[in-house]
Amino acid sequence: MPRHPKSMRMTHALALPARLFGRGPRVNLVRLQGMIAAQARGRLSDAEIAPVLERAFRAGKPKAVALLINSPGGSPVQSSLIAARIRRLADETGVPVHAFVEDAAASGGYWLATAADDIHADACSILGSIGVIFAGFGLNELIGRHGIERRVHTAGRSKSQLDPFRPENPEDVERLNRLLEQMHDAFIAQVRDRRGDKLATDAELFDGRFWLGQEAVRLGLADGLGHAVPVLKARYGDKVRLVPYTLKRPFLARFGMALTQDALAAAEERALWSRLGV
């Protein structure tokens, strides 16, 4: 092959770094999708999402991390752990965090959104549901009609509290309500700490109601209406590079071979979404 003149070789050698240095800023995207739960495989939990978040905050020296949130909520503890991890990584790396709500950031899903420095949503997104719920069934009369005798033996008189096969004990209900109030207070503290003076003072924000995007902006639960790509381009330029980081689904679930635990988790998640009407 003919050899290029020395001047031409130098031109090509200098052109490559120029193209590299001309690349746009990088924003890493993390999808936070579905029910928040500790034990259901493929669901959002601190243990599952931790390595994804670690890579997103540190890989490629990002200008920012964007959270794409679509969650009806779930475990308060896992919500708190994930949000705390996001803030810890943001503080350690100095990387800003932007949240973009898709269908919903409700209950624990909104807890995750508050970990961001700002929150954007679609006009039809659902935000809020700042409350705590405990639900169950009372089956004591059912088993009585069928002649079934419930036999439970405990050491500790409260060990069998809220047993669905026995009548409700007012003392147990009172104790449960105290626990729910404490969880609710922790949720409220998170929202107040992260949203601060942005929150409206003319509305009750913490009674479990949820709102659509425009009203959520008015109430200070979100900062504006907008979708991830146009908002990030407006902030970081048209050449911004958006690099996705996602939580992988379990191997069996990819082929539709979910186990019983996964099926139950799916039913529970469907119930959470149904409360929002979606």
Q: Which tokens in the block code for residue 153?
A: 């033996």
Give the CATH number, domain containing residue 32.
3.90.226.10
Question: What is the residue range of 99's domain?
Answer: 25-132+194-275
Question: Beta-strand (E) ranges in 91-161?
Answer: 97-106, 118-121, 126-128
Residue 123 CA to its chain's centroid (Å): 19
Residue 242 lies in a domain: yes
Residue 201 included in any domain:
yes
26-33 and 64-71: which strand pairing? parallel
75 inside domain = yes
DSSP, res 89: H
Q: Is residue 5 part of a domain?
A: no
**Residue 226: inside a domain:** yes
132/228 Cα distance (integer angstroms): 29
Indicate the number of domains in the chain: 1
177 belongs to a structural domain: no
Q: What's the token pair of residue 112? A: 């995750």
Locate the DSSP E strands across the chain.
26-33, 64-71, 97-106, 118-121, 126-128, 210-212, 224-225, 241-245
- Residue 153 located in a structural domain: no
Does 189 map to a domain? no
In order along its 278 residues, the chain shows pLDDT tens digits of 445 444 434 333 333 343 344 578 999 999 999 999 987 555 799 999 999 999 999 999 999 999 999 999 999 999 999 999 999 999 999 999 999 999 999 999 999 999 999 999 999 999 999 988 877 777 776 777 778 877 777 787 777 777 777 777 788 788 878 988 999 999 999 999 999 999 999 889 999 999 999 999 999 999 999 999 999 999 999 999 999 998 766 555 544 545 545 555 566 655 665 666 55
